[in-house]
Structure formats: structure tokens, C-alpha cells
Amino acid sequence: MGDKPTIAISHLGCEKNRIDTEHMLGLLVEAGYGVDTDEELAKYVIVNTCSFIAAAREESVKTLVELAQANKKIVITGCMAQHFQEQLLEELPEAVAVVGAGDYHKIVNVIERVEKGERVKQISPEPTYIADETTPRYRTTTVGVAYLRVAEGCDYRCSFCIIPHLRGNQRSRTIESIVAEAEQLALQGVQEIILISQITTNYGIDIYGKPKLAELLQSLGKVDVPWIRMHYAYPTGLTPSVIAAIQETPNVIPYLDLPLQHSHPEILRAMNRPWQGQVNDAIIERIKLALPEAVMRTTFIVGFPGETEEHFEHLQQFVERHEFDHVGVFTFSPEEGTPAYNLPNQLPQSVMEERRDAIMALQQPISLQKNQQEVGKVVNVLIEQENPETGELIGRSIRFAPEVDGLVYVKGQASLGTIVPVAIEVANEYDLFGQVVN
């Protein structure tokens, strides 16, 4: 290790950000830097920030301020660095570098320059980089699970979303590159791979001229990993060929994460998502028919500018009608630099919160009923944690994605990072409880 400084990384934000963090860790370790989770011991703390909505920015700012007060030398990376580069350097004298969302692969060079006394601003105006299977990576997830990025950036321009501005247009990796990384993960003992991008159903359009998700899933079917889960599947992209690939590829689990955002055509038009408003009901019914076992998760934004009581009622009826397994609800966050920021008829925060709570209250009995249907079944559970005091195991079945869904609390013996059969005995709105079947 020689005289190279020790570096800590504080990770904030989504799993796309997590992969950037893992690549930075991998590159630093490869270059001989000491990496420590203890910020006290580190000379530099890299803060990989999120700038998606106001709440995420507040968390990022709070972390930065706390580190500055502790006199830490801070390297700010990620979406917030891309978004507020000049302000961050101006307002945080402790920031020795800002590194853009498309420049994380230059982290070793940034640290070398900082060590020589330079204050570094390493930000490409239009991010174009995407890491592949050859980029060093140090995983930060539990032993049995890994995220795998199939594409970066987004070609859509939803009126509320700052992400294309921060992450650039879609750029997909080749099927061969993704399969090669999946095989590396399989060799590391990973049991579940989660495919992520901004819009996974659009995978491949930029390099192949048309979406290639079906072909990608079929290719991943040959990799020795029991569970392949997909995130961010737009319903319009769940074509008959993609549905067939899910049906026919045994390790692709029928878990559909559909970021719908709203149900009313007028709100969807204002969100610049009009293509979705025409097809919601029909597509969801078609998916349910084709994949009756599918677990369906969605997210909604309430309180979008101009959302009337009538629009909101439409959304409530939609939630009741379709009985999703899991629902996440966000209140609208006005993002400077997006068209929705200047829209008239912005709603008070109190109204937005009431509406969010109303949707969550509506969803709770639906989630409870869906979970109760698991009672009496034996389901496969990926064991991820063990409570050292009680010996109770915690894991997830295919019904639950990490971080966003529930957990399965398990009595009995099993090794971390293995998939074991569990008899489900009890269910509540969020979680399942059961016993290992020997």
C-alpha cells in the first residue's frame, strides 16, 4: 500500500449510484489505495450523492455538511456533483474535488491530482461513459445479491425528471458484455442478479436499432444464477416477445417493476408521458393474463401541478382495480431545470402528503391480502442476514426486491447467501414469517 492515503466512501441514492460506488471502490483498491468504512480513519471521504428529488438532495447536503464540520477532505461525486458543480465548490471549502455522474471511472486520477494540491473539477458536460465487465468492481451488497447495469441514461424527457440532464442519453451495453459480467457474478456465488437501467424495457435500442430485452433475458437464462430480477420495466415495453422470454427462461423471475407514475391521461400528458395513458389498463390486464404468477410493483407521483380531486380519484380507483403487490408513492418534487418546475397550479405540500397517505392506506389491505396468500406455502428464500443475538434469519422470496419491498423472517438453520425452502406461517402488510423446511 505504501504511502497512499486511506479513502472512505459514503454512498447515497439509488442502486445505479451504488454500482458507480462499487466501481470507484474497485478502481481505488486496484490502484493500491486503502479503503475503509470508518470515515474517522480516512484522509479523504468520497460522497456519492443523489440529486433526484429535494429529499435526496437534503440527505446529500446533510452528509456533506457533517463531514465538513469534522474537517474531512471531501470528494463529491454523482448526480449532485453533476447538477450543482460550481455551488458545491463555492459553498464547501472542504470539497477538494467534484466528479460528475459520467466521470466516476477517473477517480484514481482525481485523487492523484488532489494529492498534489490541486482542487479538481472533473465533470463532462454530457456523460457518455458506461462501465463494463472489465471495469474493477468491489461489491457492497449482501453476499447473495448483485445489481447489473444493462444501460445508462435515458432518451425520454418526462417533464418532472432531471435524470437525462444529469446522466445523458441511453447507452446500452452489448448482450455479450452483460452475460460476461453475469458469469463473473455467478462465480462469486451470487444467487440473485438484479438488472437495472433507467428504462430496462428500452434496452438495446441505441446499439441494435430496436429493443433487445427478450434476447438479453434468453441469453442470461444460460448463466448459472437461480434468480434474475428486472427493475424499471415500462409496461409499453413488455411486448409479447419479452413476456414469452420471462415465461420460457426459468431463472428470470416474474417480478415486474412498472414505474407508472399516474393513471389519468391528462396528468400523464402534463408529465410528458402521453404514450402511457392510452394503454395502462389494457397492458396490465394483458400482462396478468400472460403471467398470472407475476408479482407487480409500481410507483406513483401524487400532487403533480394541476392534479385535481377528479384526477386523484381516478388514480385511487386505478390502484383499487389493479391490486398491485407493492406500491410506492412519492409527492411531486419541483426540480429546477425541468419543465414541471414552472407549471401553474402547484399544490401545497400538505395536500400532496394527504394524497400520498390516502394511496398508501388504500394499498395496505391489498398488500396484506397478497402476502396472506403465501401462508401455508413453502417458498424459496434467499437468506441475507442473521440476527447475532436471536439467531433469527432474514431473507427475501421472489415477491420482494431488496430495499423497496418486505422481508421474510425465518426460524431455523441456513447459511447466508443460500436459497432455502421456507414454510410460511404468518403474514402482515409488509413481511412474511416462516420456518426452514429441512
* Binding residue positions: 14, 50, 79, 154, 158, 161
Q: Report whether 213 contacts 242 (CB < 8 A).
A: yes
Residue whose cell numbers read 420460457: 248
The Cα-based distances of 403 to 156, 159, 396 in angstroms read 26, 27, 10
Instruction: List, edge to edge, every strand of the sheet that includes 145-149.
Output: 145-149, 192-196, 227-230
Q: Report whether 271 contacts 277 (CB < 8 A).
A: no
Query: Quick one: 221 exposed, middle or buried, by C-beta within 10 A (0-12, 13-18, 19+)?
Result: middle
Start-to-end CA distance of the chain, whole Å, equals: 46
What is the C-alpha to C-alpha distance for residues 279 and 267, in angstroms, rounded to an integer? 14
Residue ranges of the annotated binding site for [4Fe-4S] cluster are: 14, 50, 79, 154, 158, 161
Q: From 213, 247, 248, 251, select the one nearest 233 (Cα to Cα).
A: 213
